[in-house]
Structure 1
């Protein structure tokens, strides 16, 4: 009998997801959303993090969480604790995220021999890793968030059947319910101040690859064209003061007064008042902020990098321009702001587009299917074999 993995007919999975990060951002929020989503499907999804970190505290407040110190690759205490936890809790799937936890997780699981869990390595980032060894040797499957990222690893000669794409998702039902009760709250003063103004919004940590400096260069052009234009930045990070200082020099005091640095806050209220959402990242594998913007019926202007073309092929309201080109960015923003009464989402609620392709439910269904199939291959001793190999192999088009 054929059984759909979207139905809770098979035995629930016990999953442990490790991340040794000391920070908290979009990737960590995604881990928590995945845990909650898989738990709602009847599985047990536990997050393992460093005690005392922002990620640990946030995860612990929202889902089942366990602490491991994960100080280094050779943290014997973490190795022992991880190994005991895998045995005691009968973990079926071990998910790793970063270099330290991927090594500790691998050696802890491998020490269990034939009774070990399936080892999954997640990769959200599009930056070039120092070594391919963790992605090739320390996991049974490498799960990436976009086809662009999958192609990157295939070009590094990882076996095509070893690398699997699972696009990330957002909680659409929660977004829909929040629409009716969204209040401006903490940014009420800003909303009142900017009534009748055009508002641009960029959401993201202040670091090199998020393109804040390129955004400033585009604003030089845009502020000359639109005297009523304001820019809101959401996020914090290592480049925060550097960007502020350059903005003051580049735009002058009058231009700087039209910038609003709001720190790290819930983007929902700001999406409610924005005219456009901008994403000048120079590399981005699968930015969830795009899904949140489209769900809020806000158009997005971004550089054509990473997984953004994949999103643009499915979702309306995404405008892609030449990467690292602030003039192209400014031109597209200018053209969109110059047309009043535009109705981009008139045919259908954009939440429906996102829900079909990029909801957390769709993500979790695909995740469960892939995990269960890989567990069967692991039990059969075929997890590291090319499933398309033929005898002799000389005529095999998949002979990698």
Structure 2
């Protein structure tokens, strides 16, 4: 049996953890014994334990921690790991080093977002970039979640081009059968009467919530009963609430926090908005489209690889509140056109962005890196 260890980037519940959730759910348990290694305590451990995934904790802070590296090496040896897949800059660096020291047969780094967009200081970003470039030759394969991310990786370290492939994220087909309790959400959050905008994202600067807040005054002038629901937790919650008050839109904003009932919120939405400054290949858009919801998002990184502007959703430049307002207004004013785009998006997700395809292509890449396995016979862009 193949022992597949997944070294997560965090123990919260962002895109990288959502990826692992989908991967673990789809793995053939008769072939793989999954092991989740977390760099910190957090709710993701409880979620995975409840699903029967063995978890281990190896703290990787501070940024330079030789003892953490040794602990990770020891764990990989004890578990006799066959394949080590890592996620995020810190985990990718530690995993490459520890995997080689432990003699792991196959090491696969996964890149979920561009390092240039990390919310860290310039010095820390330089440290990450240098460490990733130096350790890149230690990885047998590098999986990128979008072509945009793959191009960034190759630009940073050209020698890895032959080992870097793109595999798009995917969602379970069950999302297309989700109905959700939209009326319950609308009642609970006092937004029964008007249009509902929904943002599902961590409350951080990178997600661009402030640009939606800046767009709200004009939208509220035309739709006075409009409500914006912000689902997600994060360090910017208090500052965003203050900014909502400064723009005079606090009465139209509801900060929900993190929730597992996200399907109910999608069901309640008239428009799903993702105003991010950076994204790899967001599950939020895939889930919203799968549930037949119109999407307005920023044209960043891998987002245009999901949404065809004007056909499966609307794209706007990042940091452009007027453009965001105009796109949302277009969806609200033209419900027939919005429904057409939502249906086209739903069809695209069913055809191209399924969990089954993501898991199958990931397994192919993982096993292609094992000793004695024939070299990966596919184009760099694995997902069609």
Q: Same fold (TM over 0.5)?
A: yes
User: How far is 1:382 from its partner?
Assistant: 7.7
Between the aligned partners of 1:236 and 1:374, the Cα distance in structure 2 is 37
Structure 2 counterpart of 1:395: none
Contact 2:293 2:342 in 1 (8 A): no
1:283 pairs with 273, 278, 281, which one? 278
Q: Which moved more, 1:220-229 or 1:195-204?
A: 220-229
1:292 pairs with 262, 268, 287, which one? 287
The yes-or-no answer on 1:218 pairing with 2:211 is no
The yes-or-no answer on 1:24 pairing with 2:17 is no
User: How far is 1:208 from its partner?
Assistant: 0.8
The yes-or-no answer on 1:127 pairing with 2:86 is no
Structure 1 counterpart of 2:170: 169
Structure 2 counterpart of 1:97: 87
Q: How does 1:185-224 map to 2 (within 5 A)?
A: 187=185, 189-190=187-188, 193-224=190-221
Give SS of 2:279's match: coil
- What is the count of residue pairs matched by the alignment? 359
Distance 1:364 1:178, change over 3 A: same
User: How far is 1:299 from its partner?
Assistant: 0.9
Contact 1:97 1:122 in 2 (8 A): yes
2:305 pairs with 304, 307, 310, which one? 310
Give SS of 2:158's match: coil
Q: CA RMSD of the aligned region, Å?
A: 2.8
The yes-or-no answer on 1:183 pairing with 2:178 is no
Contact 2:294 2:338 in 1 (8 A): no
Structure 1 counterpart of 2:101: 111
2:4 pairs with 8, 15, 18, which one? 15
Contact 2:312 2:341 in 1 (8 A): no
The yes-or-no answer on 1:379 pairing with 2:372 is yes
Give SS of 1:79's match: helix
Give SS of 2:171's match: coil
Greater fraction helix: 2
User: How far is 1:69 from its partner?
Assistant: 2.2
Between the aligned partners of 2:346 and 2:151, the Cα distance in structure 1 is 28
User: How far is 1:215 from its partner?
Assistant: 1.2
Distance 1:25 1:63, change over 3 A: farther
Contact 1:197 1:229 in 2 (8 A): yes
Between the aligned partners of 2:342 and 2:142, the Cα distance in structure 1 is 38
Give SS of 2:197's match: strand
Q: How does 1:214-363 map to 2 (within 5 A)?
A: 214-251=211-248, 255-265=249-259, 266-313=261-308, 316-342=311-337, 344-345=339-340, 351-363=346-358
Contact 2:11 2:42 in 1 (8 A): yes
Give SS of 1:17's match: strand
1:56 pairs with 45, 66, 80, which one? 45
Between the aligned partners of 2:178 and 2:294, the Cα distance in structure 1 is 19
Contact 2:84 2:95 in 1 (8 A): yes
Give SS of 1:189's match: helix
Distance 1:13 1:64, change over 3 A: same
Give SS of 2:218's match: helix
Contact 2:89 2:115 in 1 (8 A): no
User: How far is 1:137 from its partner?
Assistant: 3.2
Structure 2 counterpart of 1:394: none
Contact 1:301 1:318 in 2 (8 A): yes
- Structure 1 runs not aligned, ≥5 long: 1-11, 389-400
Distance 1:269 1:316, change over 3 A: farther
Structure 1 counterpart of 2:120: none
